[in-house]
A and B are shown apart, each in its own frame.
Chain A
Amino acid sequence: MSTRLATGGRLLNKSRAVDFTFNGRQMRGFEGDTLASALLANDQVLVGRSFKYHRPRGIVAAGPEEPNGLVNLGTDGKFEPNQRVTTTELYDGLTAQSQNHWPSLEFDVGAINKHLSRFLPAGFYYKTFMYPRAFWKYVYEPIIRKSAGLGKAPTDRDVDTYEHFYAFCDVLVIGGGVAGLEAARTAGRSGARVLLLEQTAHWGGRAPVDGGTIDGAPVETYLADIIAELEAMENVRMRNRTMGAGVYDHGYVLGYERLRDHAPDEQGPRHRLWRIRAGHIITATGALERPLSFAGNDIPGVMLASAVRDYVVNHGVSVGDRTVVVTNNDNAYLTAIALKHAGLDVPVILDARVLPQDSELMAQAKALGVRVLMGHGISKVNGTKRVTSVDICSQAGEGAVLESVNCDAVAMSGGWSPVVHLWSHCGGKLRWDTAHACFSPDTDHAPKGADGLGFVTPAGAASGMFALDDVLHDAHAAADGVVTSLGFKLPKDSTAPVAERREDAPMAPVWLMPQGAGVKLREKAWLDYQNDVKVSDVRLAAQEGFVSVEHAKRYTTLGMATDQGKLSNINGLAVLAGTLNAEIPAVGTTTFRPPYHPISMGAIGGEARGPVFQPVRRTPMHDWHDKNGAVWEPVGQWRRPYAYARAGESTHDAVMREVTNTRHKLGLLDASTLGKIIVKGPDAGKFLDMMYTNMMSTLKPGKCRYGLMCSENGFLIDDGVVARIDDDTWLCHTTTGGADRIHGHMEEWLQTEWWDWQVHVANVTEQYAQIAVVGPNARKCLEKLGGMDVSKDALAFMEWADGTLGGFQCRVYRISFSGELSYEIAVDAGQGQAFWDALMVAGNDLGVMPYGTECLHILRAEKGFIMIGDESDGTIIPQDLGLGWAISKKKDDYLGKRAQERSHMTDPNRWKLVGLETTDGSTLPDGAYAVGEGENENGQRNMIGRVTSTYHSPTLDRGIAMGLVLNGPDRMGEVLRFPGTDGKTYEARIVDPVFYDKEGEKQNV
């Protein structure tokens, strides 16, 4: 059984016990435990079921590479699935539940799949669930979804908060092991700004577990000294619990800081996403141990040799009383030695190599009384939920059992792979290191920055250096090169510390154990634990023609689980290469993509949730609207009142009331959101003549003109009223959504095409609160306020004037989007609410009511005025809308002119704007299509038009609409049929789009 040892556990604070539950069972650990070490201390080796066959699975690793130990963590608003037990620090009150089993972890119905495994080979889903097609949606997918999947989706809103932080440095060092510490110190000594990140809570990485002597002192002394030195450096910042998640172009790096995962009850954000710009990045990300592929290598109790060692040394936990070590390298002997020192039994070391003489570590192990069998391996591990024994065979053979050894744990080591993920994220290439059978960074092909030079440098084990002395030298040299390239200088006496050298025997690659294992054994030799991919699956994929590593990956799902193949990739592609009889480097690796280890969605979102999920733009009168029943409508990022509903009134009724009141009395509209752009300069008139389809240069100061803007492709992009302020100044109104876009559009043409024209533009939209005072009583209202002359003679339709009203400085435009007598009045935004209040008071006995955007829409539709975004959709030209009158024939050019002369744009069959009047007075459905005779080449009904705007008009007491119709203006009086989605077919007659006051008498009084 796995248990807590009486001694050891360098990371533990044994004076502080920590209580937690696993699947409802009370357990106890210590401060300093990970959830994994605490589970093992409570003899909980079994932690989950596999994805496909629901095989019992135990903890394999001690770090982020762990494939099996995924749990549902926390409850309610702190619930999160797929949390890795090896990277979860234990805290008081932690609750964890294992995943992917039903009904329980110990007894799982889905485990029957393992007996069906010969029917579930690679590509099984693709082969089986293809036909009949309709079955996919209703039969296959629901069943697969139920049987697959890992954690549960959270049901509650996340109660935690998250944030981002922007950081800048010259040198970013990722990884706080000896290589990272040494690189950071070296870079720090040059005076460069250094940021050092470490994903765990501890500095030093593996070194304290694996031991050694640096500059004549134990590793622990070296670490204490270097940490103190770094902490004292003004120009160095150190962050633990912060993982380098991804490397992107231009030295951009995401760091993932876990602030409260280990202390969830403390105040403050749970995670912080660091958005770092670094001059250069040093990846000191270490290396990961590989499993060996032998039958039964997934049975709980089979672990990486380094993990077994970590748990003993770091957490004082023994995985088993009797541990068989199986290896192809010297490093695993450290595990046997550590176990023996902890007083545990190692019945045998099975070493797949045959060596002429013992290395230092082999001799040490033997001296401790451990039996070593060279040239041997595991034929098969026995046990179901726990290892019970191993069958020993010759590595060179086919698996004939020579001997069985009882044990409750197996420590395996297939060699080490440098963590090259961060090096590779941005295009760093790899080379095959034959001596260590691994891919390591090809420093001749680093990820390159804008200057064509590499901006990532690996250091230590991450660059393929495995001996402590090599690691230190490499880290020092890497940092030296980096700071020199950045223009910093190391002190002359800066040298790398020297570590005592240990002479290890060379490792030997072992991709299958035993090397001649037959199909029966291969079917039980797992490569990818989480996705249940075996040696036999990869071989099958290769036989079926999936010879590219990327194809084989997707066909078998190798490396596609949440661990992204940290353990399985190299073993898998070695098997693929072997099957294809190709060299491993010729087969290559799959692509490494960020993040290195999953990061939370919360961290990605940062602060953007709740009220600050998105900016909402508010006018100066926003709060008034809110207090007075505004039903809000998003318009761009603004919120505008759709209508002001009174108590007990439906929104529809409110809209009808607002229309009637505005037509007969007085309405107020908050028009502040409309864009206002100042265009000024000697060439401003010439510029506006290009921007608008009509002539703006001839507009007289004091006058207004409605204008259309088109893109250079001829399509209508915006409209609005332009006022000429003085000789060289115009003010252009844009649509609400168009203000920033049109401002940018103007700047773009001025900066890229007409850079020599003397024109300045300024977006002054938010400087003003603008209020439309609309209706027959509009003038009376303003006269009550008193001040400037707003009579017809002083201020005629389509004129503007500056003055005061009720003591407010204002600019009054006599323009109308409603067809009524109308003034749009601009005051400084800081006066907006006060001016609105004054208008409400002045209008009190004139029947004043505020009105919203839907009322605005109905008023303009009754008048046949188009709306950008309703009548236009990016494919519409002004000519389609009967707006030929607003297109100047006198101008040589304007944006869109040439495009509008293309054959498709002048095609008489383009749909044209008409009014539509239902024959029964009902309201046409929005977006409905008019159907014609016959069918098109796809067998669909031919369409001859569509509805672009449709409303119930309380003024006319009937449905009115506008639409685009084939040859529409030539078909006045014809009745079209519009099938609705409600099963009804609507009939509407083609009419003039101006339904109300065609002569314009009402607005011109």
Chain B
Amino acid sequence: MSEPVSALNNISHTGGIASISEIGPLGMITLRGDLSAGWMRKAVSAAGGVNLPEQGRSNFESDRGVAWMSPDELLLICPYDEVSDRLERVQGAFANRFALAVNVSDARAVFDVSGPAAREVVAKLAPVDLAPGEFEPGQFRRTRLAQVPAALWMLEEDRIRLVVFRSVARYVFDLLSVAAQPGSEVGHF
């Protein structure tokens, strides 16, 4: 095996109203199954190290966590090199129950948008109410960035993390760079 590479080799862009950086690769495991079942809650805390999140939210302990994706889907996020171990643990916890756990780490590209205008830059591309108080750390949204699907959450005030499909990493990086162009402050939030 060679060193795993992210889609854009951790490219970054500064000089705009927010800085854009590709991070990763990040470990990601898609979980599907009955989210109300006790065994699912146990599997999630065993493999994810956090409690199963409520609708529209995510639970994180530093860079490990679990996000709510849909009524029967979660996304487990962890350091890239922990994926196979966690995948094994979750599959063990699922035993032979009707559930799915699959590694999607390489299918994704991850970007951080940071700076005081981070909310505004993302609000130019995603139809999400990103006003302070309306969107805060702990929340998680599946949405779109301009023409491609995306998921986003806030790591802290002034820093938003975006997950997109790997094949559109370049498009999303270019998109965020355009949205952060100098002189484009909105001053709305």
Q: Which residues of A contact B (CB under 8 A)?
A: 161, 163-168, 193, 237, 266-269, 272, 275, 277, 606-608, 611-612, 614-620, 638, 678, 680-682, 758, 760, 762, 764-768, 807-809, 828-831, 833-834
Contacts and interface: CB of A to CB of B under 8 A. Distances in A.
B147 A608 contact: yes
Of B1, B131, B147, which is in contact with the most chain A CB atoms at under 10 Å from its CB?
B1
B34 to A, nearest CB: 10
Contacts of B2: 808, 831, 834
B148 interface: yes
**Chain A interface helix/strand/loop/mixed:** mixed
Given A612-B175, A678-B102, 13 more contacts: A163-B124, A607-B124, A612-B178, A614-B147, A615-B146, A615-B148, A617-B167, A618-B168, A618-B170, A682-B98, A764-B107, A767-B105, A809-B1
Contacts of A277: 129
B14 interface: no
Given A168-B129, A616-B171, A760 B32 contact: yes
B133 to A, nearest CB: 9
B5 interface: yes
Contacts of A607: 124-125, 146, 175, 178-179
14 contacts: A163-B179, A163-B184, A166-B124, A267-B183, A607-B179, A612-B178, A615-B168, A615-B171, A619-B167, A760-B32, A762-B30, A766-B106, A808-B1, A830-B5
B181 A762 contact: no
A829 B108 CA distance: 9
Contact of B146 (A612, A680, A760, A766): A612
Interface string B99-134: 110111111100000000000100111111111001
Contacts, number: 135
B160 interface: no
B32 A762 contact: yes
A167 B120 CA distance: 10
B127 A275 contact: yes
Chief secondary structure at chain B's binding surface: loop
Contacts of B125: 164, 607
Top 5 closest pairs, chain A to chain B, by CB: A268-B183, A267-B183, A830-B4, A617-B167, A766-B107
Nearest to A237: B188
B98 A166 contact: no
Given A607-B175, A762-B30, A831-B2, A266 B186 contact: no
Contact of B107 (A612, A680, A829): A829
Contacts of B98: 681-682, 758, 760
Contact of A166 (B25, B127, B183): B127
B187 to A, nearest CB: 9
B104 A767 contact: yes
Interface in B33-77: 33
A764 B171 contact: no
B21 interface: no
Contacts of B181: 161, 268-269
Contacts of B175: 607, 612
Nearest to B134: A168
A262 to B, nearest CB: 14
Contacts of A638: 167
Contact of B123 (A167, A237, A808): A167
Given A266-B183, A678-B100, A829-B166, A165 B123 contact: yes
Given A163-B184, A272-B186, A682-B98, A612 B171 contact: yes
A660 B57 CA distance: 56
B182 interface: yes
Interface string B1-27: 110111100000000000000000100
A612 B146 CA distance: 9
A519 B89 CA distance: 92
A16 B170 CA distance: 46
Contacts of A161: 178, 181
Contacts of B167: 617-619, 638, 766
Contacts of B107: 764-767, 829
A164 B134 contact: no
B174 interface: yes
A264 to B, nearest CB: 12
Contacts of A768: 106
Contacts of B146: 606-608, 612, 615
Most chain A CB atoms below 10 A, which of B127, B148, B166, B167 = B167
Given A168-B131, A607-B175, A831 B1 contact: yes
Contacts of A614: 147
Contacts of B7: 618, 620, 829
Contacts of B33: 760
Contacts of B108: 766
Contact of A167 (B147, B184, B188): B188
Contacts of A272: 186
Contact of A611 (B123, B166, B174): B174
A168 B107 CA distance: 32
A275 B100 CA distance: 38
A809 B105 CA distance: 15
Contacts of B25: 830
Given A168-B131, A618-B170, A829-B166, A767 B106 contact: yes
A200 to B, nearest CB: 19
A163 B183 CA distance: 12
B134 A831 contact: no
Nearest to A834: B2
Contacts of A620: 7, 166
Contacts of A760: 32-33, 98-100
Contacts of A809: 1
B33 to A, nearest CB: 8
